[in-house]
């Protein structure tokens, strides 16, 4: 009996198993690499999309300026103010947001010497993305005549500065940044130049489900 023939004809289970394991390992490697590339491409695209949306909506700012304020009923003598004090306010907004900002509610206060003398709502307005818009408001006072002390203060301002100093405050909820914004413009009545305004971010808006 030829033992060598028997040995040579005996199946090599060990070698075949190692070859199969090598083939499986190679397939697993390429499959894992393929899934990794697909997953990375998917999540990378999703991250870029989310980043773009956040950048395009939440990153930007609004800048305001105010035209000379028109008014009626402002008299240093109570006899000269038969009608309530009223102001017509016009602000110009410039936006660096990529999306439009449209508001149906914004509040305007007219302040003199730290005292609110008129209050009203701005007309609904839109500020186009990377462009501008106009905010207008007619605000009035409930007083038939201003308090004597305030009239004296205005009289001093008019003699010293050539006009009455006023502050116009505009406040609204900016849904692009999820924050409340407050705009303050300082002007002198009867002046003809455009007044610059400062914009402040007040607080995060608290959204509640309806």
Which of 7-16, 110-119, 150-159, 168-177 is least confident?
7-16
Q: What is the pTM of this model?
A: 0.64
For residues 189 and 87, give the distance between their C-alpha atoms in angstroms, rounded to a whole number: 10
**pLDDT value for 51:** 43
Does the pLDDT at position 169 exceed 90? Answer: yes
What are the CA-CA distances from residue 162 to residues 155, 170, 181, 189 (Å)?
A: 10, 25, 31, 9
Domain spans, the chain: 1-59, 62-204
Contact between residue 97 and residue 176 where contact means Cβ atoms under 8 Å apart: yes
Architecture in CATH of 62-204: Sandwich (2.60)
Percent of the chain with pLDDT strictly greater than 70: 64
Greater confidence (4 vs 102) lies with: 102
Query: Over 50: is that where the pLDDT of 75 sits?
Result: yes
Residue 44: the pLDDT is 56
Percent residues over pLDDT 90 in the chain: 30
Per-range mean pLDDT, top range of 70-84, 171-185, 191-205: 171-185
Spatial distance between the Cα atoms of 28 and 35, rounded to a whole number of angstroms: 10
Q: Do residues 187 and 166 make contact, with C-beta atoms less than 8 angstroms apart?
A: yes
Whole-number average pLDDT of the chain: 75
pLDDT value at residue 26: 59
What average pLDDT score do residues 19-46 get?
Answer: 59
């Amino acid at each position: 009996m030829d033992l060598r023939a028997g040995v040579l004809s005996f199946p090599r289970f060990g070698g075949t198993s190692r070859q199969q394991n090598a083939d499986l390992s190679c397939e697993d490697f390429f499959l894992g690499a393929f899934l990794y590339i697909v997953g990375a491409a998917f999540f990378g695209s999703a991250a870029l999309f989310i980043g773009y949306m956040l950048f395009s909506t939440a990153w930007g700012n609004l800048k305001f300026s105010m035209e000379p304020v028109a008014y009626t009923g402002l008299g240093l003598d109570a006899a000269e103010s038969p009608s309530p004090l009223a102001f017509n306010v016009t602000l110009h907004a410039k936006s660096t947001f990529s999306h439009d900002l449209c508001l149906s509610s914004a509040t305007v206060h007219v302040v003199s010497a730290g005292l609110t003398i008129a209050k009203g709502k701005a007309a609904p307005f839109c500020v186009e993305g990377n462009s501008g818009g106009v905010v207008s408001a007619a605000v009035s006072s409930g007083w038939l005549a201003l308090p004597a002390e305030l009239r004296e203060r205005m009289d001093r301002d008019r003699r010293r500065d050539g006009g009455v100093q006023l502050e116009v405050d505009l406040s609204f909820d900016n849904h692009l940044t999820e924050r409340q914004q407050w705009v303050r413009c300082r002007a002198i009545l009867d002046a003809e130049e455009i007044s610059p305004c400062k914009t402040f971010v007040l607080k995060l808006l608290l959204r509640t489900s309806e």
